Every structure is written in structure tokens, then in C-alpha cells.
Amino acid sequence: MNYRFSSRVSQLKSSAVRDILKLTQGKDMISFAGGLPAEELFPVQAIREAADHVFTAGTGALQYGLTEGYMPLREQLCERMAAKQMHVNPEQMILTTGSQQAIDLLVGVLTEPGDTVLVEKPTYLASLQVFALHGLKVIAAESDEDGIIPEDAERLIREHRPKLLYAVPTFGNPTGRVWSVERRKKLLALCKQNEMPIIEDDPYGDITFDECDQYPTLFSLEGQAERGAVFYTSTFSKTVAPALRSGWAIGDSSVIGMVAKVKQAADLHSSAIDQQILSQLLKGFDLDGHIRLISKSYGERMIEMHELLKRQGLQDVSWVKPKGGMFLWLELPDGLDAEALLRCAVQKGVAFVPGSSFYAEHPQRNTARLNYTYNTGARTKQGVERFVEALGEFTARS
């Protein structure tokens, strides 16, 4: 049979990261590609104890649950959000299958095919896949070390009238950048003036290397959920474990209600057992202490990779030391195509993500994203050596 795929999916590109991850399954391959947390830091024992507790509570734990998610976990998350000056009630929150699903559902209820979405340049790769699936045009505003440049965003809004802004203002993926408070306020005001909702995606905000560095979310700066412009989403993937596939979104209750309707059609609800385990975990386990522990370790791993790269004295390779998150964003020599470099690097046994994957259009090809959280010690050292060797050979050849 000849299958005729819908026009929305026939244009879809597979995620470069997922494709690379397939290539990197071999034991000898050192991967700086995925945004993977350190496995040895997963709170395995605490998750096991929480799961035991849930199962001993009875068979009801295995029943269907609410589309909006397990109420006790929503209440606990409302408290955690309030500690960050984000005040919501459970009706203004929905639990999702990772924050990836929150992005997809929000985009689905806030846009029509053919609409335009404004993003930062560069931006999270899998958000671009969501926009493509929903038939959206993507326009990207220039950004610098302080985040999106408001004047460029303003120009694009005037020219293209985008329906919404998607942003990762704190420790962005791929760049690790943090928007300054001034930029946050300017962008918020700009979007509100233009009646543009914002999806504020914040998976990395908790992973800060200096506890004194606190960045207000766009949601907290706006200070209102009902009829507000900001829809905030976050996840347990980076702070507990991605396999639990648990994220959440907060915002105006009518939009969250609409998201719940779409979610009913998509999957009825996310894993109720995982949500109960997380709820139990939040009762008996010091999650904030755990977040401090992983942040400290990730900060050390970032320094480790930064020092190793610095010691190589690489010509025309630059990066900014991130203050949190999971990635180093490298600018490679002018004219170098990081996709071609990747092929050479994979032969040497190291993988990374070429920066071009993070651009909706006009990619800056001489960029690369390196994850520093998954590996440590000898593997990081060997991976950096392989990367530098590949870079040396590649630049000598071209």
C-alpha cells in the first residue's frame, strides 16, 4: 500500500540529537550529545522507597487518574512554585508527560496552522519539531549574552505579527545563557502590549552553580496567572529522573482547561503511578538538598570540561562559561561546518550536537553544543581529547 502521510508530518525532520544518540550506543563512544543527567546521581534508593510506599498503599495506585494529574502532587507543586513567587492553584496547573508534552499541548491550543511563532536564536531543537508539527512558521530574534535583543524582537513582531513567544530564559538550551532581568521585563512588556502569550520553558532554572544567583521567571515578574500572558512549564527530568516523564504547566485556568481537553484526546492522562511516586518522594526526600548536590556536581563537571578545552589552547574556538544548566556552547573557527566535523568526531569515538540543529533558518554552522553533565573524570578527558583531535584533523584537511 502507498501511504500518503499528512502534509504536516511529511516535512518533519527527525531530531539530530535522537539520531546521534542512536549512533552513540556503543560502549566506547563518548557522548557529549544528549542533555542527559548523570546516572550515578539519580536518587535511586529514594525513588525505590517512594515506589514501595505507593504499591503497599493498595491496588488503587494502579487505577486510571485525572487528566489534569494527581491532585496531591499538583498541590505540592503549587507550594514549590509559590516559593519562587509563582502563585497558582491546582486549577491553574496540569501535569504532563515531560515538559515536552506541555510545550506541544500549549502550542496546540494557542495557535493555528500557518501562524508564526517567535523564538530566540538559537533555540531548543525539539521545540522546533513541535512548531513544524503544528504547521507554524518560525522567526528567530537575535540574542546576545543577556538574552533576546528586544529591538530585534520588536522589529520581528511588527513585521510578522507572531502568535506567541517561546523562550528558555534561564540556562537556555543550547547556549546556557541567562536573560538579564532588564531583558525579561522588556520582553514581557513587549508581548503584553502585542497580546502575545509566552511559553516560558524552564527545565534548567534550578541547576544553578552559585546559589546566590537567582533569576525571576517571566511568570513571577508578571505576577498573575488569570488572564496572564505567561504559561510556565518545568519538569522533574533534570532534577529527579527523565524516565519518570513528569512535567507540568501553569497559567490561566481557561487555557489550562483547554490543554486538559486536548490531553484527553492525546493520552487521557500521564502516568498516574509516576505522579504518585513523585508525590511520595516530595514528602520523604529532601529534593532541594538533592538539587543542591547535583548542581554542585554539574558545576564541577562544567569547570572540568572548560579547563580541559582551555588547556588545549584552541585557535578561534570560544565559549562563555555557563552559570548553570547542562551545556557548553562553542563557536568554532569561521567557515567550519560542525555537521561535517561531527562525522569525523564520531569516527574518533566522540559525539556532540552540531549547532545548526538549533536554528529555524540561517544556521550558524560553526557552532556546537557539548553536554558536560553525563560524563566525568577520565571519560570527559578522553572525550575532549578525541574532540580536539577531530577538530585538528578536520581543520588541517579543509
Ligand X SMILES: Cc1ncc(COP(=O)(O)O)c(C=O)c1O
The yes or no reply on residue 324 touching ligand X (CB under 6 A) is: no
d(Cα 244, Cα 238) in Å, to the nearest integer? 11
- Measured from the CB atom, the residue of 156 and 353 that comes closer to ligand X is 353
- Measured from the CB atom, the residue of 201 and 206 that comes closer to ligand X is 201
Cα end-to-end span (Å), the chain:
46
CA 388 to chain centroid, in Å, comes to 27
- Measured from the CB atom, the residue of 246 and 308 that comes closer to ligand X is 246
Q: What is the DSSP letter of 41?
A: G
The yes or no reply on residue 175 touching ligand X (CB under 6 A) is: no
Q: Of 96-104, 135-143, 179-187, 209-217, which segment contacts ligand X by CB under 6 A?
A: 96-104
Q: Of 97-105, 144-152, 254-262, 356-364, which segment contacts ligand X by CB under 6 A?
A: 97-105
Interface mask toward ligand X for 181-220; x: CB under 6 A: --------------------x-x-----------------
The yes or no reply on residue 98 touching ligand X (CB under 6 A) is: yes
Q: Of 1-9, 83-91, 235-243, 354-362, which segment contacts ligand X by CB under 6 A?
A: 235-243
The yes or no reply on residue 275 touching ligand X (CB under 6 A) is: no
Residues 6+ apart with CB under 8 A from 196: 118, 157, 162, 163, 164, 165, 190, 229
Give the burial string for 254-285 (b: 16+ CB within 10 Å, else e): ebbebbbeebeebeebbbbbbbbbbbbbbeeb
The yes or no reply on residue 242 touching ligand X (CB under 6 A) is: yes
The yes or no reply on residue 355 touching ligand X (CB under 6 A) is: no
- SS3 category, 164: strand
Interface mask toward ligand X for 21-40; x: CB under 6 A: --------------x-----
Count residues near ligand X (CB under 6 A): 13
d(Cα 165, Cα 184) in Å, to the nearest integer? 12
Min separation Cβ 136 and ligand X, Å: 17
- Measured from the CB atom, the residue of 168 and 302 that comes closer to ligand X is 168
Bridge partner residues of 198 (DSSP): 165, 230
Q: Of 20-28, 186-194, 213-221, 234-242, which segment contacts ligand X by CB under 6 A?
A: 234-242
d(Cα 128, Cα 359) in Å, to the nearest integer? 8
Q: Which of 7, 24, 2, 109 is nearest to 345 (CA)?
A: 24
d(Cα 243, Cα 43) in Å, to the nearest integer? 12
- Residues near ligand X, by CB under 6 A: 35, 98-100, 124, 168, 173, 201, 203, 235, 237, 242, 247
